[in-house]
């Protein structure tokens, strides 16, 4: 029997901004449940079609030999792909992966400074690159809060793309419908992915990635 499809949840942008999101600090905003967490990637048509059809990444257009970046924050993905209007980023995918897999990614995530402090020299000594980038408002202006971006390569990329994937959904139609509201500056009506702060329970990992504490 096929497993039940997971539902991608949306919520009012203003509700989340005012009630659920911290205004400052380094935080992982994400949609997640007990077993899975959603990350986002934007691709060309060929990669997206293969991923949705096969519920994993691969095919002739997807490269396992280069770093592939994932984002947990929907609005950061919208900034990065220009609401699905940038070249080769015209298709936005919501990718459910196991929380065990995501936590493994975090445990192996290094910024250039933490990599140096750990004595891991050379670009091939790590498999996950961590960046804390400014989060962004729907119109692209930066927030004071930081959003996480994770670059995967080698074995970590292979496991993410083929083993940890639970479900892949093309959310491009939703992205395009909400872009109309952004363009018309009707943010009272804007819907985005439902997201809350993802709490990193392992203290060693929390220290490594330098995530800030946030009270529930």
Strand runs (DSSP E) across 7-89, as ranges? 10-12, 29-30, 36-43, 68-71
Residue 160 lies in a domain: yes
Residue 3 confidence (pLDDT): 66
Count of domains observed in the chain: 1
Residue 106 lies in a domain: yes
Strand runs (DSSP E) across 72-138, as ranges? 91-98, 109-110, 128-136
Q: How far apart are CA 99 and CA 38, in angstroms?
A: 9
- Sheet with 109-110: list strands edge to edge: 109-110, 128-136, 142-152, 68-71, 36-43, 91-98, 165-170
Residue 2 lies in a domain: no
Residue 195 lies in a domain: yes
Residue 214 lies in a domain: no
- Residue-wise pLDDT for 92-148, tens only, equals 999 999 999 999 999 999 999 999 999 998 888 999 999 999 999 999 999 999 999
Residue 5 lies in a domain: no
Residue 60 lies in a domain: yes
Residues of the chain with pLDDT under 50: 1-2
pTM, to two decimals: 0.96
Residue 3 lies in a domain: no
Domain that holds residue 48: 10-209
């Amino acid at each position: 029997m096929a497993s039940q499809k997971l539902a991608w949840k949306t919520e009012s942008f203003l509700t989340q901004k005012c009630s659920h999101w911290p205004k400052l600090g380094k935080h992982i905003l994400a949609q997640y449940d007990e077993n899975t967490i959603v990350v986002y990637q934007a691709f060309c048509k060929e990669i997206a079609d293969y991923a949705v059809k096969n519920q994993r990444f691969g095919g002739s257009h997807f490269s396992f030999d280069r770093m592939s970046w994932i984002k947990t924050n929907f609005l950061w993905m919208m900034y990065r792909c220009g609401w699905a209007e940038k070249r080769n980023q015209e298709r936005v995918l919501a990718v459910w992966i196991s929380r065990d897999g995501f936590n493994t990614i975090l445990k192996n995530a290094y910024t250039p400074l933490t990599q140096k402090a750990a004595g891991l020299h050379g670009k091939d000594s790590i498999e996950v690159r961590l960046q804390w980038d400014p989060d962004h408002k729907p119109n692209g202006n930066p927030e004071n809060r930081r959003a996480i971006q994770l670059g995967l390569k080698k074995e970590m990329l292979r496991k993410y793309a083929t083993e940890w994937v639970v479900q892949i959904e093309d959310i491009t139609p939703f992205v395009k419908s909400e872009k109309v509201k952004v363009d018309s500056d009707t943010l009272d009506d804007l819907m985005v992915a439902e997201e809350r702060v993802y709490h990193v329970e392992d203290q060693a990992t929390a220290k490594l990635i330098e995530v800030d504490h946030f009270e529930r």
